[in-house]
Amino acid sequence: MNLIDLYETLSLPENDNKVFNAIPIPEYPNFRIAIDFEGNAVLLLSVAKRIKDLSLKNFRLKYLQLEQNLECRIYENDSFKLQTFTVVTFRCSDRNLQEYFLRISETLVKTIGQNPTQQQVIDSLKKFVEVFKALTDSPTKTVNGLWAELFLIENSNNPRTLINYWHNEPEEKFDFNAGTERIEVKSSSNFERKHIFSSEQLNPPSNTQVLIASIFLKQHNSGINIQQLLENISIKINYDFETADKLNSIVFRTLGSSLEHSIGVKFDYAIALQSLQFYKHQDIDKIEEIHITNNVSEVKYKSDLTNIAQAELINLKKFNKLFIAI
């Protein structure tokens, strides 16, 4: 199933907001991928047995619109027919975002399955919708920082493990936190390993090991964007819905209203790969907590990693949660 390829075969229907050109999704008879007269990507869902009082309310978000029990006139297999669907419309003409919607929809379709009950459809759609609600929020991190974190996940031996320990909230102190094992990702666009740290990042609890992943980023028109990293990760986790749901949810909450601009920004993958280095927090110059008075908080400073020896990852294999997945 490739919804992007299916969508590209569709032509615009006549100028009528209840007419769709549609094509059945192979192996999923209750689903259609469609296009409306404005060129929006549309997902059509039906269930064999509809329960009268069981449904989601219709709503419209910044990009996403959901309409229940809508009688649609669809054109497929060279003929028109009337059928009732739950209609999920992605109201945006930006190509990068359309492809992102279609990729997330693939995961949704696989999760709901071939013969879903109405309850299964509703439960899955609720999770699907929650992801899109974040797109009206202010961004909590730059595209550079998010790209670097996704790059580390994509380039790891076990992306599923890294996603499992990835911060649920972008504002958390560590990007990846497995208790006594933590990873903080720092990126640099000026090719200098001088990064800003919070006091907490370099002064963790005594039984905790923190690895700093330092990456150089350079924007490049022929590079890799966030959407492509997400697709690579999705393949590696075999499109597992729960994992992919967390992945997309964090991306949406992190970029918020900047998603439309940020998702297409491309960075040179080879430079990131060649520059990736890890450092132990103990080896980095820092302000010791003993020198920070009780009345001072949220201390941040820039530390230079240029002349610090890289961490030997093989020596960290005694840790069996997070570091072994890098």
User: Are 123 and 235 in a shared domain?
Assistant: no
The CA distance from 326 to 154, in Å, is 10
**The predicted structure's pLDDT at residue 204:** 92
For residue 210, the model assigns a pLDDT of: 95
The last residue of a domain, from among 82, 116, 136:
136
Which residue, among 107, 106, 73, has the nearest Cα to 87 in the 3D structure? Answer: 73
Residues 35, 181 share a domain: no
* Domain shared by 178 and 297, yes or no: yes
Q: Which two tokens stand for residue 174?
A: 């560590």
What does the pLDDT read at residue 201? 94
Across the chain, which has 326 residues, the per-10-residue mean pLDDT values are 86 76 87 90 78 63 84 80 87 84 85 78 80 74 91 96 87 90 95 94 92 96 92 88 84 84 91 96 88 79 94 77 90
Same domain, 180 and 88: no
Query: What residues have CB less than 8 Å from 244, skipping those under 6 apart?
Result: 104, 107, 234, 237
What's residue 259's pLDDT? Answer: 82
Q: How far is CA 90 from CA 7, 40, 63, 161, in A?
A: 13, 6, 6, 31
Predicted local distance difference test score (pLDDT) of residue 255: 86
Q: Do 94 and 173 belong together in one domain?
A: no
Last residue of a domain, one of 136, 167, 186: 136
215: containing domain: 143-325
Q: How many CA atoms lie within 13 A of 311 on its CB side?
A: 24
Nearest residue to 259 via CA among 267, 251, 268: 251
What is the pTM for the complete model shown? 0.80
Claim to verify: residue 257 and residue 164 sit in the same structural domain = yes
Question: In total, how many domains does the chain have?
Answer: 2
Residues 185 and 299 in one domain: yes
Residues 60 and 184 grouped into a single domain: no
Give yes or no: residues 149 and 293 share one domain.
yes
End residue of a domain, out of 136, 165, 199: 136
> In the prediction, which pLDDT does 181 show?
94
Predicted local confidence at residue 163, as pLDDT: 96
Cβ proximity of 281 and 288 under 8 Å: no
Query: Would you say how long the chain is, in residues?
Result: 326
The pLDDT, as a whole number, for residue 139 is: 73
Question: Is the domain of 203 the same as that of 299?
Answer: yes
